[in-house]
Amino acid sequence: MSKHQAPGAPEPTRLDPIVKDMLLLAKKAGAEHAEAILVESRNLSVSVREGEIEDVESSETQDLGLRVLIGQQQSCVSSSDLSKIGLQKMAERACAMAAQAPEDPYCGLADAGQLAKTKADAELQLFDPAEIDLDGLTHRALAAEAAALAISGINLPATASASWTIGAVAHRTSNGLHRSRINSFHGTSVMALAERDGSMERDWAQTSARWLEDLREPDDIGLEAGTRTINRLGAVKGAGGTMAVLFEPRTAKSLLGMFLGSITGSSVARGVSFLKDHMDQLVFDQNIQIIEDPFRLRGSSSGHMDSEGLARQSRHLIENGKLTSWIHNLASARQLDQAPTGHGAVGIGSPPSTRLSNVYLAAGIKTPEQLMAELGNGLVVTDAFGASFNGGTGDWSVGIAGYRFVGGARAEPFSEMTAAGNMLDIFKSLIPASDLKFEDSTETPSLLVPELAVAGQ
C-alpha cells in the first residue's frame, strides 16, 4: 500500500475461509478442540507541526491466533503467515506445544448450550462507511493545532494528529461458535506547550469515536489543549494536609479503573483483590450506581456477545452502593464454581482474559462548580501520574497536579503533590458531579473525595 493511500474496508467474509481451514488443520494435527481468530487492521494517520505535515503513516496487518486443547492441556500460538504451508505448520506447532503443557482444570471452550444465539452487531453501528483520505485527516489535524496556537500564551510549537482505523474479525471454534464483525475508529489529538519564566508546561486534548460525525470539532480540541496548558503555568507545590479533592473526569477514570480491575474473577480466585470478601456489601455510598451497557449505539466496546460466544447483558456492577457481581470469563467462573458473566476476551496467541464492555459511573445532581462552592476550599486534580496501587489491600497513592479553589473559586495552579488513601475509604466517600459525558468505554463524571490526605511542601 502506498504511504499516502487511504485503506479500504476489510471484509470478514474474505477472512472466514482461512479460519475454517485453520480449525480443520488443527483437528487433523491432533487437537480435540480448537479456536481460531483472524484480525485484519488498516490504519491511516497524519501528524502536523507548525502548520506542516510532519509524518504520515499507513499500515495494514493480519494476525491469526490459534488455541488448541488436548484434554485439559492447551496452547496458544499466533502467526501472520496465512499460506497453506504456514497454516499447517502453525497447527502442528500448537498441538505439539499442547501435548507438553501442564494440565489446566479450568480451561476449555464453552459448551454448545452456552453459546449465544447469533445476533449481528450491525444494528449497534460499529462501522462507519465514511470515505476518509489524507487531505481530510490533514485538515482536521491542522485545524486542531491552529486552535491551540491561537490561545494567548501558547508560545511553543504544538503537535496534532488525526487518525482512521478500520478492522475486521473472523472467529470460529470447533464447538460451533462463529463470530464476524467490522469496526471503525476515528481520532483527533493535540499537545500544546507553553513557557514562562524558564518553566515549561504541556497538556493535551483528544477525541475519538467510531463514526466521524461523532468526533468533537478540531477547534474545540485545540482550544481545550491550549487552555489547559496555560492554566498550568506558574504552578507551585503548595501545602499539604487533609482536604477536599475533586478529580476531573479524565483523572477520575483511574479511580473507577481500580474498582473494575478488582472485581475480575481471576483476581478474586487468586486472593489478590481487596474486594474479595465484599460481595453484596456496601462498597460505595448508597447513591452510587456503576453500570455496564454493552449495547450502547456506536459504543467503543459494544457487542452482543463476548469473545467466548456468551451473551452479554446490561447490568449494575454497583447498585445503590452494593457490589453485585464479579466479572468472569469461562475459566474464572469454573474456578469459583459460578456462572460465567459474558466477559471473556480472546487474544491473539494468548489464553482468554477478562474484559468489560462500556461501563460508567452514573452522574450526580450537582455541577463541579456547585460542589466547589459548597466546600469552599480544596484541590481540583487535572493530571495524575506515577500511581501506586496495592490490589490486595486497596492502598493507593498518586502524584497530582491541577489548581486550588478558595472560597469556591478557582485559584492558583499546583503541581508535584501526592494524594494517598485506601480505596475502600475513598469509594465510600465519593460524590459524583453531574458532568458525565459518553465517549470512551469507561466513563465517569468528576468525583469528589471530601477528605483526602495530600502531601505537599
98 burial class (0-12, 13-18, 19+ CB within 10 angstroms)?
A: buried
What is the model's pLDDT at position 457? 76
Rounded Cα distance, 224 and 226, in Å: 6
Average pLDDT rounded to a whole number, residues 366-390: 97
Reported as a single tens digit per residue, the pLDDT across 77-118 is 999 999 999 999 999 999 999 999 999 999 999 999 999 986
DSSP 8-class letter at 120: -
pLDDT, residue 8, reads 61
Q: 423 near 396, Cβ under 8 Å? A: yes
Average pLDDT over residues 362-371: 98
Q: How far, in Å, CA of 116 to CA of 118, rounded?
A: 6
CA distances in angstroms from 108 to 175, 200, 308, listed in the order given: 10, 54, 10
Nearest to residue 417, comparing CAs of 252, 227, 242, 248? 242
| Contact between 232 and 413 (Cβ < 8 Å) | yes
Separation of alpha carbons 321 and 424, rounded Å: 12
450, three cell numbers: 471530601
Bridge partner list, 408: none
> What pLDDT does residue 7 have?
54
Ramachandran angles phi, psi of 144, nearest 5°? -65, -45
- Outline where DSSP puts E strands in 15-144: 33-49, 52-70, 73-79
Q: How many CA atoms lie within 13 A of 312 on its CB side?
A: 24
Tens-place pLDDT, residues 250-306: 999 999 999 999 999 999 999 999 999 999 999 999 999 999 999 999 999 999 999
Q: Kindly tell me if the per-residue pLDDT of 406 is higher than 80.
A: yes
CA-based torsion, 247, 253, 254, 260: positive or negative: positive
Name the pTM for this structure: 0.94
C-alpha distances (whole Å) from 354 to each of 3, 43, 264, 290, 331 are: 36, 26, 7, 18, 10
Spatial CA neighbour of 218 closest among 161, 160, 140, 137: 140
pLDDT in tens, 322-337: 999 999 999 999 999 9
- Model confidence band, residue 3 (pLDDT cutoffs 50, 70, 90): very low
Q: How many CB atoms lie within 10 A of CB 293?
A: 18
Q: What is the pLDDT of residue 198?
A: 80
CATH class of 12-228: alpha beta
Give the confidence band of 12 by pLDDT, cuts at 50, 70, 90.
confident
Residue 149 has pLDDT above 80, yes or no: yes
* pLDDT for the residue numbered 4: 46
Average pLDDT, integer, range 37-51: 96
For CATH 3.30.2290.10, the residue range(s) in the chain are 12-228
Grid coordinates given for 211: 463514526
Rounded mean pLDDT of 4-28?
Answer: 83
> Roughly what angle, to the nearest 10 degrees, separates helices 218-232 and 134-149?
30
Residue given cell 494528529 in the structure block:
161
Taking 80 as the threshold, does the pLDDT of residue 60 lie above it?
yes
Share the mean pLDDT of the chain.
95
Q: What is the predicted pLDDT for the residue at 118?
A: 66
Query: Is residue 192's pLDDT more than 60?
Result: yes
Q: Is the pLDDT of residue 175 over 70?
A: yes
Q: What's residue 5's pLDDT?
A: 45
Q: Is the pLDDT assigned to residue 188 strictly greater than 50?
A: yes
